[in-house]
Structure 1
């Protein structure tokens, strides 16, 4: 499963245009082929927006500290394939 969050400043990209290039770019790094990805969660958040980050990792904190737009990508085990929520 891919979890992608695009933190933007002024220019925002449609979320549906974010996924495919990222999936292709991490072939060989996170998985053998992007057909292994069963689930994707994509979000975009304005860096000036009102949101809270729970359980912030050091990598995510570094992204915020730089002050520029960035992508936060997490590859995790897929959820239970027999249960849809």
Structure 2
């Protein structure tokens, strides 16, 4: 069940792309990896926090061709519907970040799944789905 995390190898595809075949292939891959990672017998039917971190490979200062973090949310969230959670609105908390693989990182406490992403040696998106925080907590 939750938390559930997995790695999506390669460069994410924006929902706004003109190449719909690329988008469909990306979403199919997201769905396949999510299905393999999900331990539940049916999709979760309560609110979740969706964390996406895109680890990209670009020279420092030359990051203009890297997809914006907000553009990778929609296709991933849409692909998770029916696999991880029942409806897209159940992803009530969404965190999306970008990090350059050419940067330095503190690795203490890194999950084995995230470590596997770095070992692959290619750009990747780390996806983590966890229980949503208490909606009454405004902090």
Q: What is the TM-score of this pair, normalised by structure 1? A: 0.91
- CA 1:54 to 1:23, structure 2 compared with 1: closer, same or farther past 3 Å? farther
Structure whose CA Rg is larger: 2
* Deviations 1:23-63, CA, capped at 9 Å, x for gaps: 00111111011111110111110001123234211111111
Matched, 1:9 2:44: no
For the residue of structure 2 that corresponds to 1:39, the secondary structure is strand
Distance 1:76 1:9, change over 3 A: same
Deviating beyond 2 angstroms after TM superposition, the runs of 4 or more aligned structure 1 residues are none
Q: In structure 1, the residue corresponding to 2:131 is in which secondary structure? A: coil
Match of 1:52 among 88, 106, 124: 106
Aligned length: 85
Distance in 2 between the 1:36 and 1:24 partners? 11
1:84 deviates by 1.8
Q: What is the DSSP-based 3-state SS (H/G/I as helix, E as strand, rest coil) of the residue aligned with 1:63?
A: helix
RMSD of aligned residue pairs (Cα, Å): 1.2
SS of the residue 1:56 aligns to:
coil
Higher relative contact order (CA 8 A, sep 6+): 1
Q: Provide structure 1 residue ranges, at least 5 long, that are not aligned to the other structure.
A: none
- Partner residue in 2 for 1:64: 118
